[in-house]
Amino acid sequence: MTVFLLRRLLQAAAVVLVMSLLVFLGVYAIGDPVEILISPEADQIERERAIKALGLDLPLWQQYLVFLGNALRGDLGRSFVFNEPALRLILDRMPATLELAVGATILALLIGLPLGLYAGLRPHSPVSKGILAGSILGFSLPTFWVGLMLIMVFAVQLGWLPSTGRGETVTVLGMRWSFLTRDGLAHMIMPMVNLSLFKISLIIRLTRAGVRETMLMDYVKFARAKGLSPARITLVHVFKNILIPVVTVVGLEFGGTIAFSVVTESVFAWPGMGKLIIDSINVLDRPVMVAYLMVIVLMFITINLVVDITYSVLDPRVRLEGK
């Protein structure tokens, strides 16, 4: 296990290094921030002073080395726009995105697993066919449209739920959280539902396929031959086996939600990381873009590690030997 973790850590470091290079080059290729950041009325001397202050006069490889050196000291640069450390800017927004993503994932599991289980156990019942048809809708309706519809119905017409912002927040561990207040929770509901719709469909389909496959296995028939109750067979023998693919996909989806919940955050004006990155791309705020992508890379590495460790807990045949 220790060997496995150590190996993983080294791999992670390599991935981060390669990723930083790619991100840096990619962002460099997108465009020159000078045109956007410096007012067109500025004269040549002012322009050059600004370029020098931002470090944009150095050749690319030197810029990269400077960035790398600073990054090792935990400094991912200052935002051109906000003139604040890019990392702090991102970490400020992180709790908002995090609570939304965690909420959406939990919601998806709570709804998706039971529905998928039911649809898998009774594949021919009309209810199962309804669940399946619903999951197709969940897959194919565009997120922004569902978001707008939610706002139209629950905020505009019924007036039950607030449509924008995070609402009231409390500070815990130096970060602001919405889910701990009634008002904040009310603000969370719609974006959370919006984000989880796709995930619910995905989990329903995965669970259903897993259940149908597992029910045909000899060990399920043997469990029945032992005289176990149907509940025990479903909840212990079948469920533990289908969790393995579900964990993989939920892990990846969770990372994806944190990194790319841009659409939902924009529709509900949720001040999370997704909105920050879109705004930064618009004004070519390079340090924020780079820092953001680095944070996301680290996050994916962590999630994958957690998924791997969960595997070894769920499936005794998986051994973490780092080979």
Partner 1 sequence: MPPTLEVRNLRTHFFTRAGVVKAVDDVSFAVDRGKVLGLVGESGSGKSVTGFSILGLVDPPGRIAGGSILFQGQDLAGLSEEEMRRLRGNRIAMIFQDPMMTLNPVLRIDTQMIETVLAHAKVSREEARQRARDALGQVGIPSPEERLRAYPHQFSGGMRQRVAIAIALLHKPDLIVADEPTTALDVTIQGQILAEAQKLCAESGTALIWITHDLSVVAGLADDIAVMYAGKVVEEGPVTQVLDAPLHPYTVGLIGSVPSRNHRGEPLRQIPGMTPSLLNLPAGCAFRARCPRAEARCAEPPPMAEYRPGRFARCIHPYEEAAAA
The footprint of partner 1 (CB under 8 A) covers 217-219, 221-229, 232, 236-237, 240-241, 314-317
CB of residue 237 vs partner 1: minimum separation in angstroms?
A: 5
CB of residue 108 vs partner 1: minimum separation in angstroms?
A: 23
Nearer to partner 1, 123 or 322 (CB): 123
Q: What is the enclosing helix (H) or strand (E) of 177? A: strand 175-177
Question: In angstroms, rounded to a whole number, what is the distance separating the alpha carbons of residues 19 and 295?
Answer: 11
CB of residue 315 vs partner 1: minimum separation in angstroms?
A: 6
Distance of alpha carbon 53 from the chain centroid: 35
CB of residue 122 vs partner 1: minimum separation in angstroms?
A: 11
- Strand runs (DSSP E) across 86-155, as ranges? none
Question: C-alpha angle with apex 104: 100 to 108, nearest 5 degrees?
Answer: 175
| Tokens matching residue 43 | 């004269």
Nearer to partner 1, 90 or 250 (CB): 250
Nearer to partner 1, 228 or 298 (CB): 228
Nearer to partner 1, 198 or 311 (CB): 311
Are the C-beta atoms of 295 and 228 separated by less than 8 Å? no
Are the C-beta atoms of 117 and 234 separated by less than 8 Å? yes
Question: Residues with Cβ < 8 Å from 283, sequence gap 6 or more?
Answer: 33, 36, 37, 80, 81
CB of residue 218 vs partner 1: minimum separation in angstroms?
A: 4
CB of residue 112 vs partner 1: minimum separation in angstroms?
A: 21
| Tokens matching residue 252 | 């990846």
Nearer to partner 1, 49 or 240 (CB): 240
Nearer to partner 1, 136 or 217 (CB): 217
Count CA atoms within 13 Å of residue 73 on its CB side: 8
